[in-house]
Amino acid sequence: MGKIIAAIPNICEGKDQGFIDGLTAKLQAVPGLVLLDVSMDKTRNRTVFAYTGSKNAVFDGGLILYEEALKQIDMRRHQGEYPRIGAVDAFPFVPTKDAGIEEAVQWAEAFAQRVAETFQIPVYLYGEAARLPQRREIENIREGEYEGLEERLKDPRWKPDLGPEVFKPDFGATLIGARYPMVSFKVYLNTSNLEHTRAICRGLTDGSGGGVRHVKTYAGVVYETGMCEITVAISNYRVTPMYRIIELLAVEGRRFGIDILNVEMIGLVPEQVFLDSALYYLRINSFSYERIVEKNIQAHLDEKLSFIS
């Protein structure tokens, strides 16, 4: 496989293990589709899939996912600690190996048209695929969430990009777009005080009267323990590295006597994120990544294979 574009659909179901297992099996059965990861989260009541493959395989898998979500998920009964607007809340296309964001945008536009025509649901294009400036940021479209969607659809400024301008009470709407690779993780705290946790979030979230560039945070309560957690999304980890956010979370938490218990990654993570964090915490300077043995060996193998071919 040459160029690789990954699909990272997020669905509003994270508690029904049987349903997720069944959907996973159906995706794995799609010819040419490579399932990379399934991250199920009870607290957020959300599952994030990651898969790739040929364009036809990626689209076929996506249509199966929408079809199953329409059958199983009823947004009128959905509750979860994360903003959402529909049963298949977000479906981003992410360029990875040798692919550009322009190609991911083309895939997003073509797939969005298929979804709107096939299922007759409201579709918003976001991220790099947005047709309007205010729709680049996914939070702008999600404002008011599912509960406010019916009224928002009556506003001409929030007419869907594709599909009917009709509220679908069981499904809601869907967000399809293109974006660069993102780093997402959950930070578990030693507190049950949600107000203090939200205050910590306000200190980091971009656009909250301060915050850090490219960072969004969401406060929640862990379903099983009643303790608080913060979900973090970094849209540009090269500008804002993960280790910096971990350190800032610890600093903000000290105001309330709150400490970080542990961190859990969500979905797939670029290797660079962990390498940068290791160099930071080990206080290593002037390091060349070519000195990592696996990278060095792979570079030599790639060079040799290229010469042979």
Going along the chain from its start, the domains and CATH numbers come out as 5-178 (3.30.990.10), 183-269 (3.30.70.670)
Nearest Cα to 269, choosing from 81, 82, 36, 73?
36
The reported pLDDT for the residue numbered 80 is 85
Report the pLDDT averaged over residues 95-116: 93
Report the pLDDT averaged over residues 15-21: 96
pLDDT digits (tens, 9 = 90+) for 137-181: 898 999 999 999 999 999 999 999 999 999 999 999 999 999 988
Cβ count near 162 (within 10 Å): 19
Residues whose CB is less than 8 angstroms from the CB of residue 124 and which lie 6 or more positions away in sequence, other chains included: 85, 135, 141, 160, 161, 173, 174, 175, 176
Q: What is the dihedral of CA 23, 216, 218, 104, to 10 degrees?
A: -10
Mean model confidence pLDDT for the chain: 91
DSSP class of residue 86 equals B
Using a CB cutoff of 8 Å and minimum separation of 24, what contacts does 197-200 make? Answer: 197/228, 197/229, 197/230, 197/258, 199/252, 199/255, 199/256, 200/230, 200/249, 200/252, 200/253, 200/256, 200/258
Sequence letter at residue 48:
V
Report the pLDDT averaged over residues 98-107: 91
Pairing mode, strands 10-11 and 5-7:
unpaired
Nearest Cα to 107, choosing from 59, 63, 147, 70?
59
* Residue pair 200/187 in contact by the 8 Å Cβ criterion: no
* pLDDT at residue 252 is higher than 90: yes
CA separation for the pair 231, 187 (Å, rounded): 6
* Residue pair 250/260 in contact by the 8 Å Cβ criterion: yes
Cβ count near 241 (within 10 Å): 19
* pLDDT at residue 22 is higher than 60: yes
Q: Which residue has the higher pLDDT, 199 or 3?
A: 199
The reported pLDDT for the residue numbered 194 is 96
Report the pLDDT averaged over residues 90-103: 90
CA 22 from centroid of its chain's CA atoms: 21
pLDDT digits (tens, 9 = 90+) for 203-231: 998 776 678 988 999 999 998 899 999 99
* DSSP-assigned states of every residue in 236-256: -TTTS-HHHHHHHHHHHHHTT
